[in-house]
Amino acid sequence: MSAYLKKIETLANLAPGSISEAKTLEELEALRLEYLGRKGAVTEILHSLAQVPAEQRPVLGKRANELKKEIERLIKAREAELENEQFDREIARHRMDVTLPGFKPWIGSIHPLNQTQARINEIFFSMGFSLAEGPEVEDEFHNFEALNTPADHPARDVQDTFYLEGGLLLRSHTSPVQVRHMQAHKPPVRIISPGRVFRRDTPDASHSPVFHQVEGLYVDEHVTFGDLKYTLEQFALQLFGPAGKLRFRPSFFPFTEPSAEVDCLCVFCSGKSCRVCKGTGWLELLGCGMVNPNVFKAVGYDPERWTGFAFGLGIDRICMLVHGINDIRLFLESDVNFLSQF
Ligand code: DAH
């Protein structure tokens, strides 16, 4: 075999293996230059054809050209393979695995106080009460004077009330909404008014400087304490079920006469005595009474013609009773671990 043919066949043996082993397009390009580039092995063979004896040239030339074509074909094929592999890698990088567990989106929940308030509203709406609203920033007239609370009453002490500039204050109860509503509407009146109230209390498990009340007011001709009792008893039955028994104790509020404080049978021990009711079997629920004639006078209602009852209950307290929550501060802490339980 001529040295020329030997060169060709050596290359023909070597090239397929080296091309198929190229791992990257860059490596493949280096091989292409090595074989087919201007100074490449195949190019050199073709150039040196001139030195081959003339009668052998057609056969050897043909074989050299076959080699060139074969190498070109192998490089092209390997190039396509490498490009496919690269494409597959890209796809794999972006592919999503539909068998992976999904992310659960966070869904908010209604605050337990709002849930309790909504339940209380619903019960009173079913008895024909409607919703009234009043401002959280009040003046002394609506928060105190019109409610028959004289200037020297302890409830007006700076210890209890947050005073603002210009004779304004943060309402210390929802009772001023009674006054505003009666000033703006003629009797009969049947309203409830839920909302935030503010007192200068040091926070502890049962005190918070911000808490929530629902005020109730019913004014008509011939309204009696019996109406008040029946209304609140029905409310307790609907809220707590058959266990919702009430006890009325004589009390004092400047804006009602007579006044009562109302306890419900302890929902935790059914009146048997436990830690929550401190052994008494009863839990304080609300304050109420017959509207004091002085309040009617302050809003321009004729106390000879109209009578009415009013009550004020703490939403936070009821919510704590219903859910067995032992610290009022939890309501304001925005702790998702707490809130997501409701
Ligand atoms: N305003 C009272 C308080 O915050 C609660 C209250 C008691 C409201 C008797 C009333 C009522 O309407 O008649 O302690």
For residue 15, being part of any structural domain is answered with yes
Residue 186 and residue 274 in one domain: yes
Q: Which of 149, 212, 288, 295 to mutate to test the pocket of ligand 1 (most atoms within 8 A of CB)?
A: 288
Q: What is the tens place of the pLDDT at every residue in 60-114?
A: 889 999 999 999 999 999 999 999 999 998 888 888 888 888 888 888 899 999 9
pLDDT at 327 over 80: yes
Q: What is the tens place of the pLDDT at every residue in 231-260?
A: 999 999 999 888 889 999 999 999 999 999
Q: How much is the pLDDT for 123?
A: 98
* Pocket lining for ligand 1, CB < 6 angstroms: 173, 175, 215, 253, 255-256, 287-289, 310-312
Q: Grade residue 194 by pLDDT with cuts at 50, 70 and 90.
A: very high
Residue 56 and residue 144 in one domain: no
> What is the CA(260)–ligand 1 centre distance, in A?
10
Q: Grade residue 132 by pLDDT with cuts at 50, 70 and 90.
A: very high
Q: Grade residue 205 by pLDDT with cuts at 50, 70 and 90.
A: confident
> What is the CA(278)–ligand 1 centre distance, in A?
23
228: domain CATH number is 3.30.930.10
Q: How much is the pLDDT for 139?
A: 96
> What is the CA(205)–ligand 1 centre distance, in A?
22
Residue 318 and residue 277 in one domain: yes
Residue 22 and residue 157 in one domain: no
> What is the CA(338)–ligand 1 centre distance, in A?
30
For residue 106, being part of any structural domain is answered with no
* Residue range of the domain that includes 80: 2-94
Average pLDDT, the chain: 93
Residue 198 and residue 333 in one domain: yes
pLDDT at 115 over 90: yes
Residue 316 and residue 232 in one domain: yes
Q: How much is the pLDDT for 150?
A: 85
Phi, psi of 251 (to 5 degrees): -150, -170
Residue 72 and residue 196 in one domain: no
For residue 24, being part of any structural domain is answered with yes
Q: How much is the pLDDT for 294?
A: 97
Domains identified in the chain, total number: 2
For residue 101, being part of any structural domain is answered with no
Q: What is the tens place of the pLDDT at every residue in 265-324?
A: 988 888 898 887 889 999 899 999 999 999 999 999 999 999 999 999 999 999 998 898
Write the residue with the smallest CA distance to atom 5 of ligand 1.
Answer: 312
Residue 125 and residue 237 in one domain: yes
Atom of ligand 1 nearest to the CA of 289: 13
Q: Are 268 and 203 in contact (CB under 8 A)?
A: no
Q: How much is the pLDDT for 158?
A: 66
pLDDT at 190 over 70: yes
Write the residue with the smallest CA distance to atom 3 of ligand 1.
Answer: 173
Give the residue from 48, 68, 94 where a domain finishes.
Answer: 94
Give the residue from 60, 94, 128 where a domain finishes.
Answer: 94
How far is Cα 327 from Cα 121, in angstroms, rounded to an integer? 24
Chain-centroid distance, C-alpha 252: 41
Q: Grade residue 174 by pLDDT with cuts at 50, 70 and 90.
A: very high
Residue 85 and residue 130 in one domain: no
Atom of ligand 1 nearest to the CA of 256: 13
Residue 36 and residue 125 in one domain: no
Q: Grade residue 1 by pLDDT with cuts at 50, 70 and 90.
A: low
> What is the CA(288)–ligand 1 centre distance, in A?
6
Q: How much is the pLDDT for 71?
A: 94
pLDDT at 154 over 90: no
